[in-house]
């Protein structure tokens, strides 16, 4: 129990400082930012597949029903981080940026027979961008407007969950998470014909909850093969957050600034989310899975700043039609030649996956960028005199995002995770 408490405290302190995995995408300025899944080291090598996967030596927060598979003597502790470089292309203008950070810390242990308990910290969304643009106005005076766009923040979830297997083939589970974070977005503009600077700052602090419900059902095909079916559900709800918009007009000639503040009570929400998965398993050698995620963002209104062209009145209010339902499909596989083989390469877990996703927001009335991705990864067993069950998970991922007449992104990401598998609850026998 002392080791359990120490692990919980370590996870909380570590991820409080490093939980946010940074991004440098200008698309993170829309909605709640770049959304993440709940994948960990082994999932990432298969491009995030995992809703219908369950093994006693893995932590799988993507579906809490998987927790019931935990071995009776095992304490699992999994931590990971990532780094990425992104290449941008807009109308032949190219640029690049680097980012990275600590991703997650999760743990899993068995509480009772067929009952597993997990806890940890996972990212929900990331915001991070800094770029500028210049626009020439058609006013006959060659007037141009320079704008600077900056943003940072994101949401994190500190969760605890349990998985129960009431009958042999069926497992159910849930995660209850404390969801917290903030966002800060700003736009600063200056016209060449005026001695003034106009800034718009959007900000919000979020402190709420998130609930995930999952189920898995195993269908034996024969002595060696089985199929697992899975589903998850996350109800949408208000985040009880009051987003603000601050507009500041700075008159540089007289060093005077006027600020107007707008506020929307209870203005942010997360959508209802559904997940469906299937996995084919052949003992410990092969598993192939597919996941479909559906997020109902289309029913969520989002804060926006508008100006009435007739009256000139500016308002900050919730508006529908800014977000849309999104879909993500991933397919992945893992192959281990001989899990108990004598040769090292026979025990390595070889992984690969592909996926596609649609955006959850509109940009100036047009659908945002679609995403195509692919990954390859390895689960490398750690063998020494003290531990022969832990795994080093390494994977690489390529992500391409594009839309007509918008910035194209090509991202190369490296994920590294370490799964500690310890027999904390084994009893020593002394003769």
Identify which of 204, 270, 203, 272 has the alpha carbon closest to the alpha carbon of residue 239. Answer: 270
Question: How many structural domains is the chain composed of?
Answer: 1
Please check whether residue 357 lies inside any domain of the structure.
yes
| 211: its two tokens | 């609930």
Residue 246 confidence (pLDDT)? 92
- Name the residue range of residue 21's domain: 2-373+391-422
CB 50 within 8 A of CB 264: no
Contacts of 145 (CB under 8 A, 6+ apart): 134, 135, 137, 189, 190, 191, 192
Query: How far, in Å, CA of 314 to CA of 157, rounded?
Result: 35
Residue 91 confidence (pLDDT)? 84
Residue 71 confidence (pLDDT)? 82
Residue 179 confidence (pLDDT)? 96
CATH number for position 70: 2.40.160.60
Buried b (16+ CB within 10 A) or exposed e, 386-409: eeebbbebbbebebebeeeebbeb
- Which string of DSSP letters, residue by residue, matches 143-207? -EEEEEEEEEEEEEEEEEEEEE-SSSSEEEEEEEEEEEEEEEEEEEEEETTSSEEEEEEEEEEEE
Low-confidence ranges of the chain (pLDDT < 50): 1-21, 385, 428
Please check whether residue 428 lies inside any domain of the structure.
no
- Which string of DSSP letters, residue by residue, matches 229-274? EEEEEE--EE-----EEEEEEEETTTTEEEEEEEE-TT--EE--EE
Please check whether residue 10 lies inside any domain of the structure.
yes
Residue 22 confidence (pLDDT)? 64
Please check whether residue 22 lies inside any domain of the structure.
yes
Please check whether residue 149 lies inside any domain of the structure.
yes
Q: What share of the chain is helix, strand, coil (3-state, %, to 5)?
A: 10, 60, 30
Please check whether residue 29 lies inside any domain of the structure.
yes
Please check whether residue 378 lies inside any domain of the structure.
no
Residue 85 confidence (pLDDT)? 94
Please check whether residue 381 lies inside any domain of the structure.
no
Contacts of 422 (CB under 8 A, 6+ apart): 74, 75, 76, 77, 387, 389, 390
């Amino acid at each position: 129990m002392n080791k359990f408490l120490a692990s919980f405290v370590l996870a909380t302190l570590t991820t409080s400082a490093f939980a946010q995995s940074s991004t440098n995408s200008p698309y993170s300025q829309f909605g709640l930012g770049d959304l993440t899944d709940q994948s960990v080291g082994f999932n990432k090598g298969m491009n995030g597949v995992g809703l219908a996967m369950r093994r006693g030596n893995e932590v799988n927060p993507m579906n809490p029903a998987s927790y019931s598979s935990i071995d009776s003597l095992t304490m699992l502790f999994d931590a990971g981080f990532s780094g990425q470089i992104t290449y941008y292309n807009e109308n032949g203008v190219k640029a690049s940026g680097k980012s990275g950070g600590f991703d997650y810390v999760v743990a899993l242990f068995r509480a009772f027979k067929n009952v597993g308990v997990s806890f940890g910290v996972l990212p929900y969304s990331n915001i991070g961008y800094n770029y500028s643009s210049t626009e020439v106005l058609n006013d006959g005076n060659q007037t141009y407007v320079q704008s600077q766009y900056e943003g940072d923040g994101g949401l994190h979830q500190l969760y605890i969950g349990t998985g129960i297997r009431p009958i042999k083939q069926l497992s159910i589970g849930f995660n209850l998470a404390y969801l917290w974070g903030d966002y800060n977005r700003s736009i600063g503009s200056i016209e060449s014909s005026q001695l003034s600077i106009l800034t718009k700052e959007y900000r919000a602090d979020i402190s709420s909850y998130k609930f995930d419900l999952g189920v898995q059902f195993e269908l034996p095909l024969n002595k060696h093969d089985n199929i697992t079916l899975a589903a998850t559900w996350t109800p949408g709800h208000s985040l009880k957050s009051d987003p603000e918009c601050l507009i500041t007009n700075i008159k540089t000639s007289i060093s005077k600034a006027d600020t107007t503040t707008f506020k929307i009570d209870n203005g942010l929400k997360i959508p209802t989310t559904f997940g469906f998965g299937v996995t084919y398993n052949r003992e410990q050698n092969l598993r192939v899975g597919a996941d479909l995620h559906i997020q109902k963002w289309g029913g969520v209104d989002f804060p926006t700043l508008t100006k009435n062209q007739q009256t000139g009145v500016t308002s900050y209010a919730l508006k529908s039609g800014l977000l849309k339902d999104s879909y993500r499909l991933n397919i992945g596989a893992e192959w281990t030649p001989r899990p108990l083989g004598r040769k090292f390469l026979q025990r390595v877990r070889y992984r690969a996956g592909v996926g596609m996703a649609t955006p959850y927001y509109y940009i100036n009335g047009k659908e945002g960028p679609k995403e195509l991705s692919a990954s390859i990864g390895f689960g490398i067993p750690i063998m020494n005199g003290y531990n022969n069950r832990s795994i080093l998970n390494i994977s690489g991922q390529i992500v391409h995002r594009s839309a007509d007449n918008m910035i194209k992104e090509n991202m190369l990401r490296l994920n590294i995770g370490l799964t500690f598998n310890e027999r904390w609850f084994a009893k020593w026998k002394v003769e």
